[in-house]
Amino acid sequence: MSLLNGRVAIVSGAGSGLGRAASLSFAKEGAEVVLLGRRLNKLEETFEAIKEATGREALVIPTDVTDEQQIKQAVILAVDKWGKIDILLNNAAVLESGHVIELTSENWHTQVATNLTGPFFLSRAVIPYMRKERYGRIINITSGLSWNGAGGYGAYSAAKAGLESLTRTLADEEHEYGILINLYNPGTLRTEMHATGKDPAVVTPDLLRLASLPRGGPTGSTVSYG
């Protein structure tokens, strides 16, 4: 039996990199997948990959995770189609290097809005539906920069540190509803944000395990690749 049969999963940043790999992996394990991202052409490529691999169609919803209204509408569309949301993978991210003294206000707000506020908007939007089912699995993608920082990555590091704190807070608030919320640090991946690293597909087994945790499983924890 497939791990995610009957589950509905939302993946942000689904048009490329880890988001695409995770979406395909979830679909192969039986999930109905909702693809969120800003670039329609990239989402359509993920859609075609899923259709070719599984024979089933994903739901494509062009969405900017920094826009609260777009998030609300995307979740409503997903629930209208499948009646529930079981899994959320907060993967969408932006990384713009620059020392703190060089960062513009726009640079700072863009990175915090995507890497921290976006997961807040999405989590807040899906949790009422998860509470109703008394079941939910939320996975937030983090980075080693969240705790050790690094020169030139102040905004990204601060946003990821905030995401880790938000994750632990939500885990404490939602565990009584059967909602498990965890962090995943994939390490360096070869994506549009980074030219070198692992193929994103190698870490998807970890994401599948977090997406299919049994009731009473770990919550508020950090899992790292390897």
Q: So which residues are the catalytic ones?
A: 156
What distance in Å separates the CA atoms of residue 78 and residue 128, rounded to the nearest whole number? 14
> On the CB side of 210, how many CA atoms lie within 13 Å of its CA?
29
SS (H, E, C) the chain: CCCCCCCEEEECCCCCHHHHHHHHHHHHCCCEEEEEECCHHHHHHHHHHHHHHHCCCCEEEECCCCCHHHHHHHHHHHHHHHCCCCEEEECCCCCCCECHHHCCHHHHHHHHHHHHHHHHHHHHHHHHHHHHHCCEEEEEECCCHHHHCCCCEHHHHHHHHHHHHHHHHHHHHHHHHCEEEEEEECCCECECCECCCECHHHHHHHHHHHHCCCCCCCCCCEEECC
What distance in Å separates the CA atoms of residue 184 and residue 140, rounded to the nearest whole number? 6
